[in-house]
């Protein structure tokens, strides 16, 4: 394989075998001098929107040339397993725990044949970056735990009972008849819904799980336990009613910077940005960070160049170099989904992500 010397957003991205990289809704990990790219392995056709294989991992030392390291987390053949072939595994992200020396993978899990009703978080662990990872469990986070920023007067049994009646067995609210708070209260005892997600390790070693909850209406930001394998019981509701999906986050200059999408399934929509001085908020929205047009599809900021956010990668050893990662979905032929990596340009008050058809670090 001829080696690549620049990024080509939206193009076929060949790995060391000349095969288009198969790691969608990427999560990146930098460990001992090497980058690892985890993502959904997709197969051809619409079937590729379900997990038929598992989570694929690649490694690289320059972010351009990637070596296929195989399947990090394989789907199970056991029909009793939460991750049986045919379930949905989305947005896998891996973080390294220095205390336990384990690599911990978090992902969004939908149980087989239930569409997007289960709304669970999944955890898997490994002693090595590339795996194989062992599935630990899946669950709805923070059962019985109140968010830090929910006022005491909203935390009563009466409101829970009323919310449970209005929400019933619903797992989606396309017509918007329920309030995010009612959805939240109805899930209080059983655990909060968890769909689109990312994980983030802060400078002090504390890790956080950011997940789209409350039928996608509200983002939850939840601290993880010291071993990164569970929730620590400290979390907040952020952006209630804003339907933030595809969350991505980084820290720069002591502040937290956030990218997300609106909620329109595989179809692109305008990107969102936000900033906070503390990861648990309060968060301030900044508006759409995208600038320019992707000439390949004619789409600009109103459609995030045809993509949807998935991760923000700080480039090691390069001051102020942050890359925003997006997916261009191809739900009719999932394996043909494309990757858009673009540099973030920070300004006094925010950041911009400008389209480039070719660029290098």
For ligand GAL, the closer of residues 146 and 266 by Cβ is 266
Q: Which residues bind ligand GAL (CB under 6 A)?
A: 25, 90-91, 196, 245-246, 263, 265-266, 308
Bridge-based pairing of strands 67-74 and 88-97 is unpaired
Min CB(174)–ligand GAL separation in Å: 13
Min CB(49)–ligand GAL separation in Å: 7
Min CB(107)–ligand GAL separation in Å: 10
Q: Among 74, 199, 72, which residue's Cα sits nearest to residue 141?
A: 199
For ligand GAL, the closer of residues 82 and 90 by Cβ is 90
Min CB(161)–ligand GAL separation in Å: 31
For ligand GAL, the closer of residues 15 and 327 by Cβ is 327
The four Cα atoms 210, 214, 216, 218 give a dihedral, to 10 degrees, of -60
Q: Among 238, 243, 212, 211, which residue's Cα sits nearest to residue 148?
A: 238
Instruction: Describe the crossing of helices 157-167 and 180-187 by its angle, rounded to 10 degrees.
Output: 110
For ligand GAL, the closer of residues 115 and 190 by Cβ is 115
For ligand GAL, the closer of residues 79 and 174 by Cβ is 174
Count of Cβ atoms closer than 10 Å to residue 160 Cβ: 18
Min CB(10)–ligand GAL separation in Å: 18
For ligand GAL, the closer of residues 24 and 188 by Cβ is 24
Largest Cα–Cα separation, the chain = 66
Environment class of 16 (CB within 10 Å of its CB; exposed 0-12, middle 13-18, buried 19+): middle
As given in the structure block, the two tokens for residue 135 are 């599935």
| 337 Cβ contact list (under 8 Å, min separation 6) | 24, 42, 327, 328, 329, 330
Q: Cα separation of 93 and 27, whole Å? A: 5
Min CB(265)–ligand GAL separation in Å: 4
For ligand GAL, the closer of residues 147 and 307 by Cβ is 307
- Cβ–Cβ < 8 Å for 17, 1: yes
For ligand GAL, the closer of residues 182 and 263 by Cβ is 263
Which backbone phi and psi does 195 adopt, to 5 degrees? -115, -115
Min CB(86)–ligand GAL separation in Å: 15
Min CB(26)–ligand GAL separation in Å: 12
Closest residue to ligand GAL, Cβ-based? 265
| 210 Cβ contact list (under 8 Å, min separation 6) | 197, 198, 199, 200, 219, 220, 221, 222, 247, 249
């Amino acid at each position: 394989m001829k080696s690549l010397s620049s990024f080509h957003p939206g193009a076929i991205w060949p790995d060391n075998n000349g095969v288009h990289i198969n790691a969608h809704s990427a999560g990146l990990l930098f460990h001992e001098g090497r980058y690892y790219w985890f993502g959904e392995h997709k197969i051809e056709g619409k079937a590729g929107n379900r997990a038929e294989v598992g989570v694929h991992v690649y490694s690289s030392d320059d972010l351009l040339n990637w070596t296929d390291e195989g399947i990090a987390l394989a789907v199970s053949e056991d029909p009793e397993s939460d991750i049986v072939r045919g379930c949905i595994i989305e947005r896998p992200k891996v973080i390294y725990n220095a205390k336990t020396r384990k690599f911990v993978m978090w992902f969004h899990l939908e149980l087989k044949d239930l569409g997007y009703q289960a709304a669970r978080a999944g955890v898997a662990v490994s002693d090595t970056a590339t795996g194989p990872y062992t599935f630990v469990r899946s669950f709805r986070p923070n059962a019985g735990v109140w968010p830090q920023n929910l006022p005491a007067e909203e935390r009563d049994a009466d409101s829970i009972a009323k919310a449970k009646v209005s929400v019933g067995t619903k797992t989606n609210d396309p017509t918007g008849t329920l309030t995010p708070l009612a959805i939240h209260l109805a899930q209080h005892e059983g655990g909060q819904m968890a769909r689109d997600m990312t994980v983030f390790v802060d400078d002090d070693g504390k890790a956080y799980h950011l997940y789209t909850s409350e039928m996608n209406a509200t983002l939850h930001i939840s601290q993880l336990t010291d071993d990164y394998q569970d929730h620590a019981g400290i979390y907040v509701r952020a952006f209630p009613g804003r339907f933030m999906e595809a969350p991505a986050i980084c820290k720069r200059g002591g502040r937290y910077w956030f990218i997300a999408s609106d909620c329109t399934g595989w179809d692109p929509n305008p990107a969102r940005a936000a900033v906070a001085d503390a990861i648990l908020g309060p968060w301030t929205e900044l508006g759409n960070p995208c600038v320019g047009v992707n000439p390949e599809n004619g789409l600009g900021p109103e459609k995030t160049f045809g993509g949807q956010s998935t991760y923000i990668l700080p480039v090691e050893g390069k001051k102020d170099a942050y890359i925003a990662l997006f997916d261009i979905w191809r739900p009719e032929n999932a394996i043909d989904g494309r990757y858009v990596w673009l540099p973030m340009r920070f300004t006094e008050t925010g950041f911009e992500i400008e389209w480039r058809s070719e660029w290098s670090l």
